[in-house]
Amino acid sequence: MTAPTTSYHLRPVHGWLNDPNGMTRVDGAWHVFFQHNPAAPAHAAIAWGHASSDDLAHWRLHPVAFSPTPGGPDAFGCWSGVYVPGHDRPAVVYSGVADASGQSTVCLRWGSPDLNQWGPPVVVGATPWDDGVAIMRDPFVFEHGGRRLAVLGAGLSDGSPAVLLFDRSDELAWRYLGVLVAGNAVLSDAGAADVWECPQLFPLQEKWVLVLSLHDRGVLGQVIAAVGDLVPDGEGLRFVAESVHSLDDGTDFYAPQVTLADGEPLLMGWVREADQDPAVRDHAGCLTLPRRLGLADGVVVSRVDPVAAEALTGDVKHVRAGETLLADRRWLVKVVGDGVRLTHPDLGEVPVAPGDELWVDGAVLELYRPDGIPATWRHDEPWTLTVEDEGAVEIRQVVASVP
């Protein structure tokens, strides 16, 4: 049986983790915040955890950045949001949830230069009750045509999803501009959803990419990437999707965040996990490896950030035909020949081909294909990798990076 504990995927030592938040780079160091309950491995009383790294591989865990404010706009939870660049001091915006209804406002906090201290929440945006909007959450900021803008995921009163657009030229008073995109002929094939969560909107090779996490009546589904263009629409914009596809083909990837802090899109996502019994294990959830994004034939593809990959891996060991490996260790496995089979007792056989990389960390497996869509799984039962006939793989042990 694979030990469920991960050793080189970013996670807290204790408590709960879900969505990555506030990703940025300051003075050469990467900072990643995350949805966090430090008290128990369960989704409740969500604060923002904080970690930093010089190489996206070896992480320093900081004290909790900020927690729900009793009686405040985020009393029920400090939900997902982003770092806000372009100001003379650090700032983040996020969904502040005041009560169990799940309705939220956009909260802003100003931070110290080292990102360790944060001021009280200031409400800068509220749910617009026109356009049939029933709920909104998860702000993401961007710029277009010299304007400072933001998008939020939403659900409409008819049960369909949407993305809302806001002007934030006044960072302390966001102004609603309308619906950026709702269900259309392209996105209607993306999968069932009543809310599009954690929208990420960014330019990539002359196109715009909109990443959406599909929430459908309490069920977390796939994450999709829509490739298209932004076109003027009155005072606002409209996203015109040309194609849509899965961003990750596994079963346990959700709520990724993208940052352009160094000029190139960098993504990390949540490797999903259910609440845990603290008597069995006192932590739950981790983040994926950092991924660099590209566009190949209209498809958003991912690879592990090369700096992080080099920092994590050790010497190469070659494994040839006739060997069977239980993938219950901390390995990077690169397929270098045909005749390699990857199987799992619950999922059956997963096809692999030369050039594929398998990052194995306890119960977590991330599969990366050259210029392709990755896949992320979390399963306590171990995977089996069998090398047959003329098959061959290269294995590198991965150095633990979590304190």
Annotated active-site positions, please? Answer: 19
Total residue length of the chain? 403
Burial of 85 (0-12, 13-18, 19+ CB in 10 A): middle
Q: Residue 145 burial by CB count (10 A; 0-12/13-18/19+): exposed, middle or buried?
A: exposed
Whole-number Cα distances in Å, 175 to 127, 169, 199, 224: 10, 9, 18, 27
Compute the distance between CA of residue 369 and CA of residue 335 in angstroms, rounded to an integer. Answer: 10
Amino acid at 63: P
In angstroms, the CA 308 to CA 398 distance is 11
CA-based radius of gyration for the chain: 21
Contact assessment for residue 215 and residue 223, using Cβ atoms and an 8 Å cutoff: no
- Residue 49 to residue 278: CA distance in whole angstroms: 19
